[in-house]
Amino acid sequence: MHNIVDPRYQDDIQRQIGQDLSNRSLIGTIVYVLIWAAIMLPSLSDMTNRGENLALIICTGAVVLVSMLRLICVLYYRVQLKSDLPEAPSFLPLHIGVFMSGGVWGGICYFLMTHPQFEDCSVALFIATAGLCAGGIASLAPSRNAVAIYLVMIVAPLAAALVQSSIPKAESIAWLFIIYVGGLYVISGFHRREYFSALNSKLKLTEQTERLMQLNTIDSLTGLKNRRYFESQLAYEYKRAIREELPISIILLDLDHFKGINDQYGHLIGDECLKEMARSTSCLINRSVDIVARYGGEEFAVILPNTDQANALKVAERIRHKIEQMTIRYGEYSIRFTASLGVATQIPESGNSELALVQRADKALYRAKNNGRNRIEAAAKEIRSGNVTPLVHAV
């Protein structure tokens, strides 16, 4: 497998193989029991010897028991697969199930074919075994070890029984079976390569799609998240705040008199100012759940999940102070600018909208603009009962 699997997808492919093998093993277990029932039910009705019927009943019990044990192995593996393990679980439970079912079938074939009283079952056993070999190789092809275990456990006892039995041309039939199974094993190698090639292609396509989606959420100038991502993430965090009954805060900031910088120094220098401001602001946001985004033009937005108004105002003041202290060097000029910020906080309830929270932050931002710029204004702090406290001003 290591030669035909892209190392980047090793763990993902291991998990996918396990998922596919467990799904196919569930189907294989059902087919295994049905095939045995198709062989034995007519034989039980035809046989009158009590000892022979007892032997067939014991064989049937063995088939049912091993099928149940294999089912347990498959279910155990699926539980392991769904757990948050850092690595894909071992295929050992699946291999044990294959080993048991193949071994029991091979043992039953050996027993029945070496006892002349069950000679009438021989043709049905040959056909069923050939079918199980073909189906098993097709379904277990992703795992070379599973294929090898399965074939050896089924075919070796059958070949040994043919050599010892009195069936005409038994040796020729044994060699035909060996050649047939060898051919199937070689074909399984082609199936395996096609399987891994398809998985590699699927994972590459998924990776490229995720990369494109990631690029679609990035503002090309500043490298921050764009407005589309901001809106989708705000909707997600807002719903989470409703479920968990936690506060959520947002900060809207707008650079003061930025049009004058573009007019005096040109848009290229203005763009450099935006880039530097974005880098500086991002450094102040420490939590992975917090989002800084370019909201449009020289306006930026910050999402602060599980943050009350007091802490949101502290973050806003750090941002304001950082921008105020920044200096952009351009030739003999030193460019400095400030920002106005609006903060809104809410503990949302079912039926509330995140758009209302944005509008409240926007109104607070424009109050900051109208009250002298380079300052922070906070929207009215909402209380769940519907009462409103006085406006909180900072800076």
The string of pLDDT tens digits covering residues 224-279 is 999 999 999 999 999 999 999 999 999 999 999 999 988 888 888 899 899 988 98
Which ranges in 5-49 belong to alpha helices (H)? Answer: 10-46
Which residue did the predictor score with more confidence, 389 or 271?
271
**Does the annotation count 298 as an active-site position?**
yes
Task: Tell me which architecture the domain covering 227-394 has in CATH.
Answer: 2-Layer Sandwich (3.30)
Contact call for residues 150 and 102 (beta carbons, < 8 A):
yes
Catalytic pick from 298, 354, 377, 382?
A: 298
Say how far apart CA 50 and CA 44 lie, in whole Å. Answer: 10
Higher pLDDT, 142 or 292: 292
Instruction: Tally Cβ neighbours within 10 Å of residue 218.
Output: 15
Q: What is the band of 121 on the pLDDT scale with cuts at 50, 70, 90?
A: confident
Q: pLDDT tens-digit profile of 172-216?
A: 777 887 888 888 888 888 888 888 888 878 888 887 877 777 777
| Contact yes or no for 285/302 (Cβ under 8 A) | yes
Picking from 372, 346, 368, 358, the residue whose alpha carbon sits closest to that of residue 295 is 358
Which residue reads 């098993």 in tokens?
136
- In a 10 Å sphere around its CB, with 0-12 CB exposed, 13-18 middle and 19+ buried, how is residue 159 labelled? buried
Q: What is the mean pLDDT of residues 349-354?
A: 89
Residue 141's pLDDT band (cuts 50, 70, 90): confident
Q: Angle at CA 149, nearest 5°, toward 146 and 152? A: 145
DSSP 3-state assignment of 374? coil
Tally of CB atoms within 10 A around 146: 26
Report yes or no on whether pTM surpasses 0.85: no
